Amino acid sequence: MSDAAVHVGSGKVRELYALDDDRLLLVASDRISTFDVVLPTPIPDKGRVLTGLSAFWFARTRELVPNHLLALHDDGRSTECRRLEMLPIECVVRGYITGSGWKDYRATGEVCGHALPEGLVESQQLPQPIFTPATKAQTGHDENIDRETAAGLVGAERFAEVERIALELYGWVSDHARARGIILADTKLEFGVDPQGRLVLGDEAFTPDSSRFWPADSYAPGGPQPSFDKQFVRDYCEELGWDKTAPGPELPDDVVAGTRAC
Q: State which residue, 16 or 150, has the beta carbon closest to ligand Q0N.
A: 16
- Give least dist CB 232 to ligand Q0N, A: 25
* Nearest to 191, CA basis, from 227, 155, 146: 155
Asked whether position 86 contacts ligand Q0N by CB under 6 A, the answer is yes
Asked whether position 55 contacts ligand Q0N by CB under 6 A, the answer is no
- Give least dist CB 23 to ligand Q0N, A: 9
- Give least dist CB 11 to ligand Q0N, A: 3
Beta pairing partners, 79: 26, 72
Asked whether position 66 contacts ligand Q0N by CB under 6 A, the answer is no
Residue 249 vs residues 29, 44, 167, 233, 235: alpha-carbon distances, Å? 18, 17, 37, 10, 13
From candidates 26, 91, 150, 233, binder to ligand Q0N by CB under 6 A = 26
Asked whether position 192 contacts ligand Q0N by CB under 6 A, the answer is yes
The three-class DSSP label of residue 40 is coil
Counting residues that bind ligand Q0N (by CB under 6 A) gives 17
Question: CA 68, CA 95: separation in Å to the nearest integer?
Answer: 25
- Give least dist CB 24 to ligand Q0N, A: 5
From candidates 39, 81, 89, 173, binder to ligand Q0N by CB under 6 A = 81
Asked whether position 30 contacts ligand Q0N by CB under 6 A, the answer is no
Prior bond of 40 cis (ω within 30°): no
From candidates 50, 58, 69, 83, binder to ligand Q0N by CB under 6 A = 83
Residue 253: partners with Cβ closer than 8 Å, 6 or more residues away = none
Residue 248: partners with Cβ closer than 8 Å, 6 or more residues away = 34, 35, 37, 38, 39, 40, 237, 242
Residue 120: partners with Cβ closer than 8 Å, 6 or more residues away = 97, 105, 126
Chain residues that interact with ligand Q0N, rule: CB under 6 A:
9-11, 14, 16, 24, 26, 68, 81-84, 86, 190, 192, 202-203
